[in-house]
Every structure is written in C-alpha cells, then in structure tokens.
Structure 1
C-alpha cells in the first residue's frame, strides 16, 4: 500500500574515495533531479595499531584526505550540482561513518569498481545492511538507457523498493519494469507450501499480490510506463537477467525469509555482488537504525 508522502530530506550523502567519478556523477544527478544539496564525505584512517602513531605521518594522511575532499567538492561544482556542496572529512571506517552521518540524508551513494563481482567485505556490501536509508551502489555512469528495474516479493521492503523505483523512473523519464520471481518454496510460511504443488494456483495467488502492490503506485505515477512480469522462477537468475540493459536495479534490503537484521537478504546481496548495473537497496519505510 502506498504510504503518505514523507518529508523530503535535505541532501544526498556521497561516500567519496577519489577512485573514479561514476558515483560522484550519479550523486550530482540525484541532487539535480531531486532539488537537494550534496554532502561529500571522505574517510581517512590510521592503518596501524593505536599507540604506534607518528604525528607527522598522521598529519600527512589527514592533509591527503583534505586535498582529496576539496577535489571532489570542486568536481561536483564543475559537474553542475545545483545546490550547496558540503565537504565532510571524518576519521574512521567508511560504513560506520556513513551510517552516523546519514540521519537527515535522502539517500546514500557509494561507488563500486566495474568488475563483475564486488568483494564481500566492501563498503558497497556492508553499508546497505547497516543503514536505514536507501543506498545506491554505482558501478558505472554513462548514457541513459531509459530503464529502471525493480524486484519485488511479498516482504515488507517490497513496497518501499517499488516506491523508490517508480520515483526514480519518473524523475529520469524512464520506463519501469516490475519483476516478481515467485519460486521460493524454501522461505515461505508453512501454510503457503501447498501452493507450490499447483503452479496455476501459485500463479493466481502471486498475481493478485502483485496487482495489489503495483496498482496504487501506478495510480500515483500515471505517466510512468510500467511493465509487470510475474515468473515462477528463482529471483536471483531472473533479476540478473532483467538488469541487463537497465540503468538501475532496485531491491529491498531483505526478502520474505526473515534474515538476521544485521544481514542483507540473499537476493539483495547477490545483486550487489553480480548485477551488471547500478543497484539501489531500499529498507522498509521508517526502518530503525542498525548497528554498523
């Protein structure tokens, strides 16, 4: 069900390390589309055990961080960021810092190298499991293809993911493809298991759920072209295939399996590791902050 329009946050928060400009370009584009300011956060850290600090080396590391941050702020201005651009230098782990600084952010943007698989311990994987804000993990930035894809299921976060996706599609004047891959017998409640012995009944039941989920959003955004796909297949393979050729893939942070609150759902995690495009991971609305 469509929730009441929430108050818009003040800025987009970008985690910036200076390696490539895809995430910076995406963040600037988000500020332009949403009419928000941009906060660029760079984290530096002392790489050796506490008690072994050399003040001169420590000062040099901090100055390097300051210079990198100035570079990012300057580049954001050159790219046409429409509002204020704030630089934020912090010492500490990136994920923990971005969680702390994201309280009044509309969304968080971080980069991911363009290789096919994202390392398991990277910020791109850890951050979406810890924050209560949408996280956009940018693989590349190029010519728009005009397509946003969202994966949905029967979970609490599916409605939030769909809302984020259709808003992005509207802002970008893109098409939206809603994908429900409904073959997950291992994670549904026991009372639903008999549905998996009759594919026609399962399809009808999931089609009714999908219509109930999608209809309020298409009524709110009638100008967004929406294609809806319901497939009795496993989500991972279906979503990876659907994301090929998309500008953005949107998923909820956890599916119907009810995983540990400090972990991402299996499908969301797989998309971050393997999707060919930028991925947004969206928590349920009004989600409480989680430990980083």
Structure 2
C-alpha cells in the first residue's frame, strides 16, 4: 500500500450532510494527528458572456465568495467544536471541484466527499463528483454516507480479490481498524461460473481445490497485513457470490467499506456493474476507494 501523508481533505457544499461529512473527516484527521483542510468549490461562471451579463459578473462572483466563506466557516466551526485542538484550514476554489480534488490528492492523506449519491444511469451518462475523483485520485477517497459524524466501534469490511488495488484497500482497512481499534472483516467473493466462450468442462473442475486455493489467497493476503497491525481482530469470509453483493451482505452492521479499484480514468470507472460503482450506489455507510501501488502520482 502506498504511504500517504499530509492533511485529510473534505469537500463541502453548504448542506447539512456535507457538514456531517466534515465532522467525520475531522475525527479521522484528529486520530491521524494531521490537519484538516475544508474545501468548497464555487459554481463556475461562463466566460463568453454578453456585455450586459458581463457587467454583473463581478457582483455575482463577490456574492459567491461571501457565500463560500459562510459555508467554510460553518463547517470549520462544527469540526472545531468536536476537536478544539485540531488544525483546520479552509479553501474556496474557482475550478471544477473534481479537477481540483484530483490535484489535491497528490499531497494529502485522504479525501472525504459527502452528499453526492451515485446512481448507475447518472454515473454512466453524466458522471458524478465522487466517481470522477475516486477514479482518478492518488490517495484514498471516502464517499461519506449515512448520518455518522465520527467513526464508531463497529467493524470495517474490505473486499479482497488478489489484485494490487485490493491489497492497497486491505492495507488501508487494517490501518483504519487499528487507528480506531475496531474489528475487520475481509471478504473474498468467487464464482463457479465459467467465462463465456471457454472450452473447460465444468464437471472436470475440482471446485473444492479451487475454493481451497481462493481461501489460501485470502488468508495469506490478510496475514501479511495482520503482521503489521497485530492488534486488529481480523476475520476472513469466502463467499460464492458477486463481489459487490458479498461485501454489502457483510456490511449491515459495519461503519466503513473499503474497496480497491483498477480504474485509471473517469471512463474506465463508470462501467455499470463494477464493484466500486455498485458499492457507491448501494452502500448505506461510507465507502473508501483505493488504488493500487502502481497508480501514478
């Protein structure tokens, strides 16, 4: 898993859910003993304006800046009420929030985004801030969900599939579980369904051996991180199911889902049916999306 340092960054938009996400991010920053940076992106004003429209541009921009300051001030006050000693900075942006967050992700520990539901059709046709940032950011991106304003004592669930991205997710999940002293559930989903066009005869496959091999891959991956975080109570689950469904099934009483993604750009990560998109759409708890160690900075 790549090592990430720097502040925790959270995006806010003035809604109550965004303030709650900021408080959650503040709790994460407090436990990591790093600063929290609160970011608000102002709506973009068109550049090719008519003469009459351009005349009021300055007034509109001034109003937006005043509004941004209020939004940032309110979010910062809520966080500092929870954690008086936490260093909190605020930033207003005039660039698209997803582009800004991707750039910010190069130098921060994690990005938290709240209040941005990802519906499958929207993700395919229009995209979303969360999806755009999660697919391209360098650091882990947490899509805040639910009403929690701080991590709890509930378990963390992480998806494992043997990929580099999943290993990064597993490392991030162990780090979180160790940080907040909570249990961890590692879920590995596999299927007896054969690839279309294959010539393998199902009756000749030793499915018990296949399952045993999958279990070995899961436990070895978990053991690797358990040695680094020996205080974490980790449990392994091997499920014959689709990855997204298996993880959701194990997340009913958890506080965070952690998953790896191999997508390197917005298009690659907006395919319907992908595990990350499925979780972003269906999860009732925050979802942390991580990239593999080879994801470029």
TM-score if structure 1 supplies the norm length? Answer: 0.86
1:94-243 matched pairs, under 5 angstroms: 94-112=97-115, 119-120=122-123, 121-142=127-148, 144-183=152-191, 197-243=205-251
Cα distance in 2 for residues equivalent to 1:196 and 1:154: 25
1:197 CA drift (Å): 3.7
Cα distance in 2 for residues equivalent to 1:152 and 1:14: 27
Cα distance in 2 for residues equivalent to 1:196 and 1:220: 40
* Structure 1 counterpart SS, 2:146: coil
Partner of residue 40, structure 1: 38
8 Å contact 2:154–2:253 — kept in the other structure? no
Name which of structure 1's ranges 25-34 and 58-67 shifts more when overlaid on structure 2. 58-67
Change (3 A) 1:284 1:116: closer
Partner of residue 94, structure 2: 91
Change (3 A) 1:153 1:39: same
Partner of residue 21, structure 2: 23
8 Å contact 1:23–1:140 — kept in the other structure? no
8 Å contact 2:118–2:280 — kept in the other structure? no
Cα distance in 2 for residues equivalent to 1:195 and 1:42: 57
1:191 CA drift (Å): 11
8 Å contact 1:177–1:227 — kept in the other structure? yes
Deviations 1:201-257 (A, max 9, x none): 210111121122111111121211111001122112111111111100000013xxx
1:75 CA drift (Å): 2.2
Cα distance in 2 for residues equivalent to 1:280 and 1:111: 12
Verify: 1:10 aligned to 2:18, yes or no: no
Cα distance in 1 for residues equivalent to 2:143 and 2:160: 19
1:89 CA drift (Å): 0.9
Cα distance in 2 for residues equivalent to 1:284 and 1:38: 24
8 Å contact 1:46–1:58 — kept in the other structure? no
Change (3 A) 1:211 1:34: same
TM-score if structure 2 supplies the norm length? Answer: 0.84
8 Å contact 1:28–1:80 — kept in the other structure? yes
Cα distance in 2 for residues equivalent to 1:116 and 1:288: 25
Cα distance in 1 for residues equivalent to 2:252 and 2:30: 26
2:76 to 68, 73, 79: 73
Change (3 A) 1:194 1:112: farther
Count the aligned residue pairs.
279
* Structure 2 counterpart SS, 1:103: helix
Deviations 1:32-89 (A, max 9, x none): 1100001111100235463254221222122211221222222221221543211111
List runs of 5+ in structure 1 lacking aligned partners.
Answer: none
* Structure 2 counterpart SS, 1:243: coil
List runs of 5+ in structure 2 lacking aligned partners.
Answer: none
Change (3 A) 1:217 1:164: same
Change (3 A) 1:155 1:45: same
Query: CA RMSD of the aligned region, Å?
Result: 2.8
